[in-house]
Structure 1
Amino acid sequence: MTTDSDATDADGTADADLGVHLPVAAQPSLDDLVGVGVHAEALGYERAWLPETWGRDAVTTLALLAERTAEIGIGSSLLNVYSRSPALLGETAATLQEASGGRFRLGLGPSGPAVIEGWHGVDFDRPLRRTRESVEIVRQVLAGDVVRYDGDCFELDGFRLRCAPPETPPPIDVGGMGPKAVELAGRFADGWHALMCSPDGLQSRAEDLERGASLGDRSADDVRVTLVLPCAVSEGDGGDRAHELVTEHVAFYVGGMGTFYRDALVRQGYDAAHDAHVAWGAGDREHAVEIVRGFVDDLAVWGTPEAARAALDRFCAVGVVDEVAVALPRGATDDDVAATVDALAPRA
């Protein structure tokens, strides 16, 4: 976690690293999806992150990306802790670390009941405890130890990697939006993935991160903060299409992905997120999008290349952020993805 004093370089430009959150909906083929990461490497992005939703699985995709790149970091953002066991997550992390030559970063999170119960058929039980225990077990696996673990969610005895463990274990990040989830990241993880946060909201959650780090007897500066930031760029229309893309993207998560995103925004002072959630649930998605339009500028980057770059710099300058991951909206086409990744690439 950076501090306010080191949030900008001497010339006044924001110094947070730039990553890219690969799109999960737009690409017609696996080759096209991996190609976005390959292009991001050529443009100088720090890391290519891939979420796992209901399309191509993250592990296969990241393995291909590792094989086709040489320098860019790769990471999962995020794998849920219900659809894979902690032992398997440890195996996966070790394998991707080997495949990438030490460039992998494991991002984990509980997701939510809409995904875990509705899509995976697993009880969404004790999400924070399960996340903590998963992190602890994965660390044992990556150390090459015989795993003996007696927890509230998991009991393991005898598992051990059959191959040599990574010489350098990959860092483990945790995603979270609520105070206790962020505290958990500060206490047990190597990084925190912030989602659906305004600049002011990030500063507020930094207090939770610091509290967690203190409980873990360490400094919050040791916890890398990655902001997953919806971004879109369009030219020739004043940025109107980009505005629609990020607004519809945020509205979908607030309205259609359970209560966690809504609650995170209400905690940041956006009470209208509740109304958007209700409207979406009632089938009035146009009204939900219109409500979100009133506060989306605080949560996303959009516009012409010049306007979007200025907005991105504002988020990069937030003192608690170490990396901003340019996240492509779910409705973005191939052309939208290319325009955004090119326009917001790290400056030379």
Structure 2
Amino acid sequence: MTAELKLGIHVGYWQRDPEDHTETVLAAERLGYDSVFTAEAYGSDAFTPLTWYAARTSRIGLGTAVVQMSARTPAATAMHALTLDALSGGRVALGLGASGPQVVEGWYGVPFPKPLARTREYFDILRKVWRRAEPVTNDGPHHPLPYPGGTGLGKPLKSIVHPVRPEIPLYLGAEGPKNVALAAEIAQGWLPMFIDPAQVDTVYGESLAGRPDGFEIAATVTTIVTDDLPAALEFAKIPLAFYIGGMGAKDRNFHLDLIGRLGYGEQAARVQELFLSGRRDEAIRAVPDELADSISLLGPIGRIKERLQLWRDSPVTTLLLGGVKDEPTLRALRDLVRG
């Protein structure tokens, strides 16, 4: 059980020219929300919009959920994070994820071997860059420094910038049991996706058993305050259908596997089948209402108040509300969580 839930907003991917969440972010800061998080997949990046919001705020925490590790070398990611952390006065929490082979090899053009070992190596290099204890070297096979081929002239270097903090909090986006266990071992927090608060201990209890005191679990939760619960459920099913059906190869989709562990394996397979055959509207309708409801906060404010207890009773420490844009709704949800 979490003594007091922290509260943030997740503004997702930046999608198009008019999409600027500045007013929402400013409202969240005025209302005392703890953080704002951005994301990336294979379009916009996570750092640019986060910097945009950082420049317009002064207090709210700044997070990524997630930056894709294969998009940048560890040194490049460390540079992004230390720069934004300095410019924002030490407000950054860096959330990273391994993504999957479809995106990593198809979009970034790099191999997808041994994601657990790559993640461990990546985190180690980030911390070496920020600590500046010595020139950065790495003997691992995934991100060797200096590079062992090429001209042979590479040399270990230290950042020419002194970070404002030698330790920037690192969160790991993870779904599989081994990856969640890795988060509990090497990160300061875990960024779960499609999490049912009533099943955290059942599905992830063993993986989280070794987490240290103060370990953050920041869950993104689709949140829709409305009297039209069926319409809210329909909306909440859209990202589920997309991730189950389209964010992964047919025979290797980590999101599909997760939904199976939540108890909806057969239904998830049907969603994937419909999505991949081009019948996307049918795929959305095939997502079970119970699944969409269990991982979201949907309906009238009174219903959301009741369902918040499930999150309070879980190990989740932060709710990252997704889909909420207007200040009155942000205020009402704040009062529910902190009242």
Same fold (TM over 0.5): yes
Question: What is the RMSD computed on CA atoms of the aligned residues?
Answer: 2.1
Task: Give deviations 1:95-125, integer Å, cap 9, x for gaps.
Answer: 1111111111000110112322232222222
**Is 1:92 aligned to residue 80 of structure 2?**
yes
Q: TM-score, normalised by structure 1?
A: 0.85
Task: Give deviations 1:119-168, integer Å, cap 9, x for gaps.
Answer: 22222222222111111100000101311111121111313110112235
| 1:233 matched residue in structure 2 | 225
Which amino acid is the alignment partner of residue 206 of structure 1? G
| 1:291 matched residue in structure 2 | 286
Q: Count how many residue pairs are aligned between Structure 1 and Structure 2.
A: 319
| 1:148 matched residue in structure 2 | 137
| 1:255 matched residue in structure 2 | 245
Q: 1:233 to 1:249 in 2, by over 3 A?
A: farther
Alignment equivalent of 1:138, drawn from 126, 129, 140: 126
Q: How does 1:310-329 map to 2 (within 5 A)?
A: 310-311=306-307, 313-328=308-323
Which amino acid is the alignment partner of residue 282 of structure 2? H
Q: 1:36 to 1:118 in 2, by over 3 A?
A: farther
Which amino acid is the alignment partner of residue 194 of structure 1? P
Q: How does 1:129-278 map to 2 (within 5 A)?
A: 129-145=117-133, 146-157=135-146, 158-203=156-201, 204-210=203-209, 213=210, 219-235=211-227, 238-258=228-248, 259-271=253-265, 272-278=267-273
CA–CA separation in structure 1 for the residues paired with 2:189 and 2:84: 18
| 1:65 matched residue in structure 2 | 53
Which amino acid is the alignment partner of residue 209 of structure 1? L
Query: Is the CA contact (8 Å cut-off) linking 1:233 and 1:343 kept in structure 2?
Result: no
CA–CA separation in structure 2 for the residues paired with 1:284 and 1:299: 24
Task: Give deviations 1:195-231, integer Å, cap 9, x for gaps.
Answer: 1121233213132022xx3xxxxx5324211112222
**In structure 2, the residue corresponding to 1:155 is in which secondary structure?**
coil
Query: Is the CA contact (8 Å cut-off) linking 2:10 and 2:37 kept in structure 1?
Result: yes
Query: Is the CA contact (8 Å cut-off) linking 1:231 and 1:340 kept in structure 2?
Result: no
Question: Which structure 1 residue ranges, 4+ long, deviate > 4 Å from structure 2?
Answer: 25-28
CA–CA separation in structure 1 for the residues paired with 2:205 and 2:9: 22
| 2:71 matched residue in structure 1 | 83
| 2:300 matched residue in structure 1 | 304
Task: Give deviations 1:299-335, integer Å, cap 9, x for gaps.
Answer: 2221133323433x1343133111111122xxxxxxx
CA–CA separation in structure 2 for the residues paired with 1:186 and 1:23: 24
Q: TM-score, normalised by structure 2?
A: 0.87
CA–CA separation in structure 2 for the residues paired with 1:53 and 1:345: 29
1:277, distance to aligned residue in structure 2 (A): 1.5
Q: 1:40 to 1:26 in 2, by over 3 A?
A: farther
1:37, distance to aligned residue in structure 2 (A): 1.7
CA–CA separation in structure 2 for the residues paired with 1:59 and 1:26: 14
CA–CA separation in structure 1 for the residues paired with 2:42 and 2:302: 33
5+ residue gaps, structure 1, are 9-14, 214-218, 329-335
**Is 1:41 aligned to residue 35 of structure 2?**
no
**Is 1:24 aligned to residue 13 of structure 2?**
yes
